[in-house]
Amino acid sequence: MFTNPNSPSSNASVAKHKPVARNGISMPLPSQFNEDKKRVATAIVYCESNFGAIDGKTANGLIRHSEKYRILSVIDSEKAGLDTGMVLDDEPNAIPICRDLADSLAQADIIPDYFIFGMAPSSGMLSIHERSLILEAISYGMNIINGLHEFLNDDPVFKVACAASKVEILDVRKPPSKKDLRMFSGDITRVTCPRIAVLGTDCAIGKRTTATILTRALNDRGVKAVMVGTGQTGIIQGARYGIALDAIPSQFCAGELEATIVEAFQIENPDVIIVEGQGSLSHPAFSSSSFILRGSCPNGVVLQHAPRRVNRCDFKQMTMPTPATEINLIQTFSDTKVIGLTINHENMSDNEVSEAITHYECKLGLPTTDALSRPPERLVEMVFSAFPVLKKKLPAAA
């Protein structure tokens, strides 16, 4: 059982990690560059009643990929005792799901450096219980990563708690001050490498996961790819370049994304830039996709679709569009071309995924795959087919 390190009877020490500025957003130091330079920053992720579900996408993403943190556990009382890898992908990863904060701390056997709020509810706000839980985590000496639209650093209660425990809160979605925001300038034309946006037919459909897998697969083949994140989860995972686009005033969205892409191009000199999508261009509740198309002016688009999803996420009265109608809308709205389709296999068997791939390849005339259940090489070939110049950049032995 853990004792609160800030109580008079406790001698426990807690490592602190100062945030640094990056792309206008205060970011915690990457795990491999912590102040002590000796160990990876540790974290537990809160995802009550939502791990493996749509609103748990931040936790789901961190379990699948994190460049910043070593995730010790996920809190979700409904799935307590299960392995997170088995819940997500039917493959164990030895990261447990715990009943509550006490259970998580007991299994960790240390005070983690960070407590990450791992859900993305449509309200974007904390419940009363969640406020109390975060304050409890702060009292233990844990820094807080908050991806909600509610900025905890603006709350006097959280300010006092952080000062008392000498910890910090990172409000990932908090944008830079308006004087520092950038307008669209046309500098995107200076980015001479291909820019590929991963868009979708709905929100929370796997765009970030596909973009991450595609970026990694290209780099593994020897093609230098850089991913630009556009949401809170990608930033928390450790994307070197990114903005929480849905928190930027609309007048600056295209410009902020453009400037971030230009910065990535100038610093990294990549062969290709992959831009994470948000929302859906056809979805009336979101405008992020339009800003992504405007700000990145992509040379190609990979479209993500969930064949078994009947209604839009969080909007049960709205039916899902077909890939064909979304493709038509994207190519009408922007001077770009959809180069391939990727499948979200929710509620599908492996045979059904194979049938869907065959169906869409025949119907749309586009290469189709599932980024999670099929070899990543298929994603790479999808990109090479659309941009043969990238294949020429492969190492001689490839």
Using CB atoms within 10 Å of the CB of residue 117, give its burial: 0 to 12 exposed, 13 to 18 middle, 19+ buried.
buried
Structure confidence by residue, pLDDT tens digits, 189-245: 999 999 999 999 999 999 999 999 999 999 999 999 999 999 999 999 989 999 999
Give the pLDDT of residue 37. 41
Structure confidence by residue, pLDDT tens digits, 345-364: 999 999 999 999 999 999 99
Please, what sign has the CA dihedral across residues 20, 21, 25, 29?
A: negative
pTM: 0.84
Provide the percentage of residues in the chain whose pLDDT is more than 70: 89
Q: How far is CA 217 from CA 67, 101, 156, 211, 229, in A?
A: 16, 36, 45, 10, 17
pLDDT band with cut points at 50, 70 and 90 for residue 121: confident
Contact 305, 341 (CB under 8 A): yes
What domains can be seen in the chain, in order of their start residue? Answer: 20-171 (3.40.50.720), 180-391 (3.40.50.300)
pLDDT band with cut points at 50, 70 and 90 for residue 397: low
Give the pLDDT of residue 394. 87
pLDDT at 125 over 70: yes
pLDDT at 377 over 70: yes
Of 75, 62, 74, 73, give the one whose Cα is nearest residue 31.
Answer: 62
pLDDT band with cut points at 50, 70 and 90 for residue 109: confident
Cα distance between residue 108 and residue 81, in whole Å:
14
Q: Which residues contact 187 (CB under 8 A, 6 or more apart)?
A: 258, 259, 262
What's the average model confidence in pLDDT over 330-356? 98
Q: Could you give the residue ranges of the DSSP H alpha helices within 232-349?
A: 232-237, 250-268, 288-296, 323-333
Of 189, 201, 208, 214, give the one whose Cα is nearest residue 297.
Answer: 189
pLDDT band with cut points at 50, 70 and 90 for residue 40: confident
What's the average model confidence in pLDDT over 109-129? 89
> To the nearest whole number, what is the mean pLDDT of the chain?
90
What's the average model confidence in pLDDT over 90-117? 96
